Amino acid sequence: MNANADPAEVQKFSDLAHRWWDPASEFKPLHEINPLRLDWIDDQAMLAGKDVLDVGCGGGILSEGMAARGARVTGIDLSEKALGVARLHLFESGLKVDYHHASAEAFADAHPARFDVVTCMEMLEHVPDPGSTVAACTRLVKPGGMVFFSTLNRNPKSYLFAVIGAEYVLKLLPRGTHDYAKFIKPSELSRHAREAGLESRELIGMSYNPFSQAYSLGRNTDVNYLMSAVRVR
Ligand SMILES: C[S@@+](CC[C@H](N)C(=O)[O-])C[C@H]1O[C@@H](n2cnc3c(N)ncnc32)[C@H](O)[C@@H]1O
């Protein structure tokens, strides 16, 4: 497996992959946040007609959403099982997405500056070297193109909400889904982005309200957050 991949992390997603499109499964949070992040990306990138790469696409929830908005979408992941589920789901949805088994780094070597837009959502907190992934996403996008990331902040509140709350109290996610040590502060993601040649455009938080059981985008980046950036060199 690629040097910048944790086989145990990829295996975790492979083991659950058959439930990826069940909106009541472990992937419920991804289904619920998808309309929010899709609108947020589309507002900035104007997806229709664009060549888009979805890095760490998993079962294809975001990839299909972007294809439905008129983008030509390619998805890459290191979980063969997740990709198998993603390909099968295209028969149900009737959408077109081109899925490949590849790491961001290897795909960047083969397809430098090939895409108008690159998305890499809920994936950086599962890789050993997120800076390398950010650099690869930057190499994959054309100069002037946009890159979108989402991940988890690292602080006592995010530990409480994303690990204890989500995995142990509300049981939104299976125990062990997230490794707190791999969470990434916005300042760290910004540094990786700057070093790679990206200029940050927007940083926005995503919060879960356990009473209304709904997600919303807002200023609070304490736990989940998203960042958009433009390749400037
Ligand atoms: C939480 S899922 C997110 C899926 C999708 N991006 C979304 O937000 O709907 C994380 C995905 O990252 C993939 N992944 C983990 N490490 C990876 C790596 N080094 N390279 C490519 N994909 C990886 C996993 O297989 C899994 O499909």
Chain segment 197-207, per-residue pLDDT in tens: 999 999 999 99
CA distance 185 to 127: 15
User: What is the distance in A from the centroid of ligand 1 to the CA of 76?
Assistant: 9
Contact 206, 36 (CB under 8 A): yes
Ligand 1 atom with least separation from CA of 4? 19
Runs of H (alpha helix) within the chain: 7-16, 28-45, 61-68, 80-93, 104-110, 130-140, 156-158, 186-196
Helix (H) or strand (E) holding 53: strand 51-55
Q: Which amino acid is at 73?
A: V
Nearest residue by C-alpha to atom 19 in ligand 1? 5
Please report, for residues 59, 96, 121, 126, 184, the alpha-carbon distance to residue 56 in angstroms, rounded to integers and kept in the order given: 9, 17, 7, 10, 17
The confidence score (pLDDT) of residue 1 equals 61
Helix (H, G, I), strand (E, B) or coil at 193: helix
Q: Flag residues of the chain having pLDDT under 50.
A: none
- Say if ligand 1 is within 6 A of residue 30 CB: yes
Contact 152, 224 (CB under 8 A): yes
Mind listing the domains of the chain with CATH numbers? 7-152+183-231 (3.40.50.150)
The confidence score (pLDDT) of residue 143 equals 98
Ligand 1 atom with least separation from CA of 30? 9
CA dihedral 102, 106, 108, 110 (to 10 degrees): -100
User: What is the distance in A from the centroid of ligand 1 to the CA of 79?
Assistant: 8
pLDDT 10s digits, 146-188: 999 999 999 889 888 888 888 888 888 888 889 888 999 999 9
Write down the pTM of the prediction: 0.96
Rg for the chain, CA atoms, rounded: 16
Ligand 1 atom with least separation from CA of 17? 27
Q: What is the ipTM of this complex?
A: 0.99
* Strand order across the beta sheet in which 51-55 lies: 97-101, 72-77, 51-55, 115-121, 141-152, 224-231, 198-209, 214-218
